[in-house]
Amino acid sequence: MAASFVPRALFPTLDSLPRSYYLGHHAAGLAKMRTMLSQIDLVIECRDYRIPLTSRNPMFEQSLAGQERMIVYTKKDLGTVGGTHEDSRRHALLRHFHAPAPVLFSDHKSPRDVRQILTHIRASYEQQGSLTGSHLMIVGMPNVGKSSLLNALRREGVGKGKVAHTGAQPGITRKIGTSVKIIAPPEGEGSGGVYLLDTPGVFIPYVPDADHMLKLALCGSVKDNVIPPFTLADYLLYHMNLASPDLYSHYHPPTNDVMPLLEAIARQTGRLQKGGTPDLEGTAMWLVQRWRNGHLGRFMLDEVSAAALEQYGPAMDGEKQSSVNQMRRAGKEALRVKAKARRAAANGG
Ligand SMILES: Nc1nc2c(ncn2[C@@H]2O[C@H](COP(=O)(O)OP(=O)(O)OP(=O)(O)O)[C@@H](O)[C@H]2O)c(=O)[nH]1
């Protein structure tokens, strides 16, 4: 690495970025989730490990108040190389932060991680002693890995294959599905067992500022057409430089300028348009996708420290409360628009 290279300490504030992100079906999903909570014994709340703070949603937390829940930090493998002292420190802080709710960390491809989650689920089920079985709901931001976890729990729990669709774009799970069995009833008992319900990405990301929006977009919780590809690639470059410019040294020497990096990658990987000009936009999305798949470094986007968690503490300040109200209003408006469109379609336009 060039000794003189100094990474940007801050990413420039981008006032033009959209700060709210809203999908109509989220509102309907959230409303439906609320009506179903009374039949749910345990909520499994998935959060993206790389953004433990940014993935918070006060509105969602309000809806779950008083519900027994378990927090699962998904995509652990993308935020860390694993097994370091730093990981243990971070895990301890997050466990303390969410107490008394149990906190687990998962890579959906790790049978060990999935079995640990199953052990907690089983303990909760046995404690309830329900004869009719235990009903769980899995919730979390779009694209956080809910369906992958559901499939993994089912695979490890009852040895059955994939039921829920997974995908690299947010919003794959659109309808609240039926429940699937993940733990069989005890031997000799016909009824019982543990059933898990998949929900759509009802955990609408809470986006108070551009930095939140960029992190959510980089992690794939916001559709890729919301943030311009160059902005997203530049934001990734900013984080790669903070982690280590060696991450892209194969393509370019350390730089704070994303365009020459994209051009170098486009040429080296053959991403060229007619006439041989580099396809910079396509390369920007390819770069982001490479990172999302763990090929350009595994690092956190949120710094997890006691002070940062304190700042994000459970108390909701005025600003957050007003954001919750805004989201509620946006939700109601989206439902009104949808209902109007349906009425218009029923009346023949
Ligand atoms: N590396 C890694 N990738 C994961 C993990 N969990 C999920 N993914 C990937 O993340 C993407 C989204 O996963 P899904 O399970 O479809 O996410 P979802 O929360 O059900 O998505 P929505 O349907 O949009 O709400 C897929 O490409 C998965 O392969 C994980 O633990 N590690």
Q: Of all atoms in ligand 1, which is nearest to the CA of residue 110?
A: 31
Can you list the alpha helix ranges (DSSP code H) found in 99-197?
111-128, 146-158
Pocket test for ligand 1, best of 108, 112, 223 (most atoms within 8 A of CB): 108
151 with 275, same domain? no
- From residue 101, alpha-carbon distances to 45, 89, 96, 257, 296 in Å are 10, 18, 9, 43, 33
pLDDT of the residue at 345 = 74
Reduce the DSSP state of residue 103 to 3 states and report it: strand
In the reported structure, the alpha carbon of residue 170 is separated from the centroid of ligand 1 by a whole-number distance in angstroms of 9
Reduce the DSSP state of residue 46 to 3 states and report it: strand
Pocket test for ligand 1, best of 75, 80, 143, 153 (most atoms within 8 A of CB): 143
33 with 76, same domain? yes
192 with 69, same domain? yes
User: What is the tens place of the pLDDT at every residue in 9-52?
Assistant: 999 877 777 666 555 556 666 777 778 888 899 999 999 999 99
Reduce the DSSP state of residue 179 to 3 states and report it: strand
Could you tell me the CATH number of the domain that includes residue 126? 3.40.50.300
Question: Among the three residues 147, 172, 198, which one is the final residue of a domain in this structure?
Answer: 198
User: What is the tens place of the pLDDT at every residue in 283-331?
Assistant: 999 999 999 999 999 999 999 999 988 887 663 444 444 454 555 565 5
Domain membership of residue 250 (yes or no) is yes
Q: Of all atoms in ligand 1, which is nearest to the CA of residue 140?
A: 19
In the reported structure, the alpha carbon of residue 109 is separated from the centroid of ligand 1 by a whole-number distance in angstroms of 11
Reduce the DSSP state of residue 94 to 3 states and report it: helix
41 with 177, same domain? yes
| CA pair distance 254, 260, nearest whole angstrom | 11
183 with 223, same domain? no
Q: How many domains would you assign to the chain?
A: 2
Question: Among the three residues 132, 164, 198, which one is the final residue of a domain in this structure?
Answer: 198
In the reported structure, the alpha carbon of residue 293 is separated from the centroid of ligand 1 by a whole-number distance in angstroms of 11
DSSP-derived secondary structure for 191-203: S--EEEEE--S-S
Domain membership of residue 74 (yes or no) is yes
pLDDT of the residue at 51 = 95
The CA dihedral of 20, 23, 28, 31, to the nearest 10 degrees, is -30
Cα–Cα–Cα angle for 93, 157, 137, rounded to 5 degrees? 60
pLDDT of the residue at 88 = 94
88 with 221, same domain? no
- From residue 241, alpha-carbon distances to 135, 218, 267, 280, 284 in Å are 45, 15, 21, 20, 16
Domain membership of residue 80 (yes or no) is yes
Structure tokens of 77?
Answer: 């493998």
Q: Of all atoms in ligand 1, which is nearest to the CA of residue 78?
A: 1
Domain membership of residue 39 (yes or no) is yes
Contact (Cβ atoms closer than 8 angstroms) between residue 2 and residue 254: yes
Task: Name every protein residue with a CB atom under 6 angstroms from any ligand 1 atom.
Answer: 74-75, 77-78, 106-108, 140, 142-148, 166-168, 170-173, 200-201, 294
The dihedrals phi and psi of 51, each to the nearest 5 degrees, come to: -135, 60
Please name which of 190, 89, 191 lies closest in space to residue 130, comparing C-alpha atoms. Answer: 191
Q: What is the ipTM of this complex?
A: 0.98
38 with 181, same domain? yes
32 with 90, same domain? yes
- From residue 270, alpha-carbon distances to 57, 81, 212, 296 in Å are 41, 30, 33, 19
pLDDT of the residue at 317 = 40
- From residue 126, alpha-carbon distances to 61, 123, 183 in Å are 26, 5, 11
Instruction: Provide the annotated binding site for GTP.
Output: 143-148, 201
Q: Of all atoms in ligand 1, which is nearest to the CA of residue 168?
A: 27
Per-residue pLDDT of the chain (349 residues; tens, 9 = 90+): 456 899 999 998 777 776 665 555 566 667 777 788 888 999 999 999 999 998 877 767 777 878 899 999 999 999 987 778 999 999 999 999 999 999 999 999 999 999 999 999 999 888 877 777 899 999 888 889 998 999 999 999 998 766 655 655 555 444 455 688 999 887 766 678 899 986 644 566 677 788 888 999 999 988 888 899 999 999 999 999 999 999 999 999 999 999 999 999 999 999 999 899 999 999 999 999 999 999 999 999 999 999 988 887 663 444 444 454 555 565 566 566 667 777 777 776 5
Reduce the DSSP state of residue 249 to 3 states and report it: coil
Counted residue by residue, the chain has a size of 349
In the reported structure, the alpha carbon of residue 347 is separated from the centroid of ligand 1 by a whole-number distance in angstroms of 40
Q: Of all atoms in ligand 1, which is nearest to the CA of residue 169?
A: 24
Please name which of 193, 44, 213, 33 lies closest in space to residue 125, comparing C-alpha atoms. Answer: 193
Domain membership of residue 138 (yes or no) is yes
Q: What is the reported pTM?
A: 0.84
pLDDT of the residue at 174 = 43
Contact (Cβ atoms closer than 8 angstroms) between residue 72 and residue 117: yes
Could you tell me the CATH number of the domain that includes residue 267? 1.10.1580.10
In the reported structure, the alpha carbon of residue 92 is separated from the centroid of ligand 1 by a whole-number distance in angstroms of 24
Residue nearest to atom 1 of ligand 1 (CA): 75
Residue nearest to atom 30 of ligand 1 (CA): 75
Domain interval for residue 256: 210-297
Contact (Cβ atoms closer than 8 angstroms) between residue 284 and residue 235: no
In the chain, how long is the greatest CA-to-CA distance? Answer: 71
In the reported structure, the alpha carbon of residue 74 is separated from the centroid of ligand 1 by a whole-number distance in angstroms of 8
In the reported structure, the alpha carbon of residue 70 is separated from the centroid of ligand 1 by a whole-number distance in angstroms of 18
